[in-house]
């Protein structure tokens, strides 16, 4: 089934997550009416027999594997076993079942933390497995490296069209704003918001504020996923013989610069206190986006606009004070 047909059956694994939600919105907006979606309660992707039964019954044409255990620097460091176990199980089961059902294309989602801590910046896809990983998230990174490698192996041995997209730090409406487990952007957006509303004079920012991160709006990432589903196979693997495509904006900013932006959007008037007992993580992980650019895709949402839209959404949620 060609993706040009709106009848294509597309399974979005992880459709309740930040990226999954955005992908479903994009697919529906484009008129795809035969989406296959399962909540965690309906289908536990860590259970191989359940996944095999589901996949054999549904037989999707395309899969976007956006289901994963994800979280910010502290969650990665606090729950290493959950991060490595759950991700290995989820991806192993879905990839194997997808190969057995011969889906037309599968998009495997990973993260730029798979690259070595000291990789050259911007980081090309060819840096994979060339050096030691950042320690705070190596559990998650090792799982994702296994997933990328499994996609390569399934392609080599069985001809599976499984492509891996490595996303930079995503943010957007529907993100996790839990301060203990979230990524930096939603965490600080919430902290500045609550401080302003409650009249607090200081906000705690973890680490030194000097690490740099590349932030990508979840709607742009969803757009990249749909784009990747459509790239003709010959063009895709000519550009990415290893089946890996970095997806980012091409620019990064320091955590301190991110704070300046958030403070302006939220209207916080107090001061920042750095909590140096918390880890900085990797100093920088800007990715080389030239493969995606050459294939014809670029991010389109400026960071300030993305933050404004995320903040507008956050204020409508029950969690916002
Ligand atoms: O987004 P984040 O949690 O994860 O943190 P990573 C990025 C940077 O923001 C670190 C600083 O230097 C943090 O110390 N930071 C400052 C904060 N204040 C806060 C705060 O209140 N909350 C949080 N969370 N950070 C993750 C990986 O790394 O990135 C994942 O652990 C994944 O595996 C993801 O790859 C994209 O960018 O360091």
**Structure confidence at residue 3 (pLDDT):** 83
Check 140, 171, 217, 314 and give the catalytic one: 140
Which ligand 1 atom is nearest residue 71's CA?
Answer: 30
Q: Which residues of the chain have pLDDT under 50?
A: none
Contact between 208 and 254 (Cβ < 8 Å): no
Active site residue 171: no
**Structure confidence at residue 1 (pLDDT):** 62
Report pTM: 0.97
CA 73 / ligand 1 centre spacing (Å): 4
pLDDT digit string, tens, across residues 151-176: 999 999 999 999 999 999 999 999 99
**Structure confidence at residue 246 (pLDDT):** 98
Tell me, using a 6 A CB cutoff, whether residue 285 lines ligand 1. Answer: no
Tell me, using a 6 A CB cutoff, whether residue 188 lines ligand 1. Answer: yes
- Give the full edge-to-edge strand order of the sheet including 162-167: 35-36, 10-13, 62-65, 105-111, 162-167, 244-247
Tell me, using a 6 A CB cutoff, whether residue 287 lines ligand 1. Answer: no
**Structure confidence at residue 321 (pLDDT):** 83
Record the tokens describing residue 72, joined without a space. Answer: 């910010």
- Please name the residue whose Cα sits nearest to atom 15 of ligand 1: 206
Q: Exposed, middle or buried: residue 254 (CB in 10 Å: 0-12, 13-18, 19+)?
A: middle
Pocket test for ligand 1, best of 87, 168, 171, 183 (most atoms within 8 A of CB): 183
**Structure confidence at residue 204 (pLDDT):** 98
DSSP character string of 40-52: TTT--TT-HHHHH
Record the tokens describing residue 63, joined without a space. Answer: 């899969």
Task: Give the span between the Cα atoms of 249 and 220, in whole angstroms.
Answer: 9
Tell me, using a 6 A CB cutoff, whether residue 117 lines ligand 1. Answer: no
**Structure confidence at residue 142 (pLDDT):** 98
Task: Give the span between the Cα atoms of 35 and 186, in whole angstroms.
Answer: 29
Task: Give the span between the Cα atoms of 197 and 98, in whole angstroms.
Answer: 48
pLDDT digit string, tens, across residues 218-251: 999 999 999 999 999 999 999 999 999 999 999 9
Tell me, using a 6 A CB cutoff, whether residue 139 lines ligand 1. Answer: no
Task: Give the span between the Cα atoms of 146 and 114, in whole angstroms.
Answer: 10
């Amino acid at each position: 089934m060609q993706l040009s047909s709106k009848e294509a059956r597309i399974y979005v694994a992880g459709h309740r997550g930040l990226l999954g939600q955005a992908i479903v919105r994009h697919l529906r907006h484009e008129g795809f009416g035969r989406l296959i979606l399962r909540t965690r309660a309906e289908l536990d992707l860590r259970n191989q027999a359940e996944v095999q039964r589901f996949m054999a019954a549904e037989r999707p044409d395309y899969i976007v594997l956006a289901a994963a255990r994800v979280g910010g620097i502290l969650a990665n460091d606090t729950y290493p076993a959950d991060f490595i176990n759950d991700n290995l199980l989820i991806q192993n089961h879905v990839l194997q079942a997808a190969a057995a059902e011969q889906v037309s294309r599968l998009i495997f989602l990973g993260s730029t933390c798979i690259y070595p801590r000291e990789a050259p910046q911007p980081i090309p896809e060819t840096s994979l497995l060339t050096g030691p990983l950042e320690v705070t998230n190596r559990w998650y990174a090792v799982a994702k490296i296994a997933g990328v490698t499994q996609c390569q192996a399934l392609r080599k041995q069985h001809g599976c069209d499984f492509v891996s997209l490595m996303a930079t730090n995503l943010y957007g409406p529907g993100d996790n704003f839990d301060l203990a487990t979230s990524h930096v952007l939603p965490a600080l957006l919430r902290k500045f918001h609550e401080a302003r509303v409650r009249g607090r004079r200081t906000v705690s920012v973890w680490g030194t504020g000097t690490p740099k991160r590349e932030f990508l709006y979840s709607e742009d990432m969803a757009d990249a996923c749909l784009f990747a589903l459509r790239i003709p196979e010959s063009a895709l693997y000519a550009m990415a013989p290893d089946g890996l495509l970095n997806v980012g904006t091409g620019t990064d900013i320091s955590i301190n610069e991110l704070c300046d932006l958030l403070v302006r959007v939220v209207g916080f008037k107090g001061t920042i206190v750095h909590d140096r007992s918390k880890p900085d993580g990797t100093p920088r992980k800007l990715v080389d986006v030239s493969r995606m650019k050459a294939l014809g895709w670029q991010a389109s949402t400026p960071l300030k606009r993305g933050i404004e839209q995320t903040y507008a959404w956050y204020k409508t949620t029950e969690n916002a004070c």
